[in-house]
Amino acid sequence: MKKLFYSLLLILTINVFSFSQGLGIGIGPSFWANNDVTLSNFNLINKDLKPGFNLNLRIKFDNDFITYTINGGWNKFTISEVSITDPKTNDVYDLSLSQNIFPISPGIQLNLIRLNPLKIYIAGDISLNIIKSSIDVKRKISSQNIPIPVIFGDETEYRGGLAPGLGVELGLGVLTLDVNAKLHYMNLFNKKDGETTTSFLMTNVSVFFGK
């Protein structure tokens, strides 16, 4: 599965190398979608009702109606939380168990409407999803408590999936703002026996530099 995916990624990169390029960095919330959100019903992913967050790095190779993309992302979902007090110092540490999903996905977007500086598109990716659990400690960044991984679990799972989506681009001179959402069917391929198909919605606001 992994060898096939990397071969497709290499072919896509070679084919679109001559197109103009844009590099984008984005962030946004992620949500479990159409799943039985319990801790015991799925043998790959532990889920609860809380939304997660994502970070995403994307390269676009623009060719008028069709734009080729290469995406690398990180989706983090908190499963459970606990606070531990150091008896010697009385310092309180807020810890959490999290599920981390790292999709690597080449894809295309079809630019349906191009009204400068606005572009509306639909998209589709094929993804390799790398899945790991982690123990995190919460650190305050600005006004938000952000879970920072301190220990990753030993077991790593790999699943193949598809991700349809849609988005809007707004050209702002040297920068482009991209607002998009993709529904990741994250384990369509390489399933274990009896494994249930699961999906999550990855919403994202990205800023692209260059074109």
Chain mean pLDDT for the chain: 81
pLDDT at 23 over 50: yes
This prediction's pTM: 0.79
- Flag the least confident range among 39-43, 83-87, 159-163, 195-199: 39-43
Q: Which residue has the tokens 């990741």?
A: 184
81 occurs within a structural domain:
no
DSSP for the chain, please give it. -HHHHHHHHHHHHHHTTTSEEEEEEEEEEEEEESS---SSS-SS----S--EEEEEEEEEEEETTEEEEEEEEEEEEEEEEEEEE-TTT--EEEEEEEEEEEEEEEEEEEEEEEETTEEEEEEEEEEEEEEEEEEEEEEEETTEEEEEEEEE-S--EEEEEEEEEEEEEEEETTEEEEEEEEEEEEEEESPPTTPPP-EEEEEEEEEEE--
> In which domain, by residue range, is 29 found?
2-76+104-129+161-209
Predicted pLDDT at 69: 94
46 occurs within a structural domain:
yes
**Confidence band of 206 (pLDDT split at 50, 70, 90):** very high
Predicted pLDDT at 39: 39
Q: How many domains does the chain have?
A: 1
90 occurs within a structural domain:
no
For residues 61 and 37, the answer to whether their CB atoms sit within 8 Å is no
Mean pLDDT for 116-138 is 91
For residues 114 and 170, the answer to whether their CB atoms sit within 8 Å is no
89 occurs within a structural domain:
no
Predicted pLDDT at 174: 86
179 occurs within a structural domain:
yes
Predicted pLDDT at 92: 73
**Confidence band of 87 (pLDDT split at 50, 70, 90):** confident
Q: Which of 168, 182, 176 is nearest to 125 (CA)?
A: 182
Q: What is the pLDDT of residues 29-85, one digit of tens each?
A: 999 886 554 434 444 555 556 788 999 999 998 777 899 999 999 999 888 777 777
How many beta carbons lie within 10 A of that of residue 23, not counting itself? 13
62 occurs within a structural domain:
yes
Angle at 138 between CA 137 and CA 142, to 5 degrees: 145
17 occurs within a structural domain:
yes
Mean pLDDT for 119-143 is 87
120 occurs within a structural domain:
yes
CATH label of the domain that carries residue 41: 2.40.160.20
**Confidence band of 16 (pLDDT split at 50, 70, 90):** very low
pLDDT at 102 over 80: yes
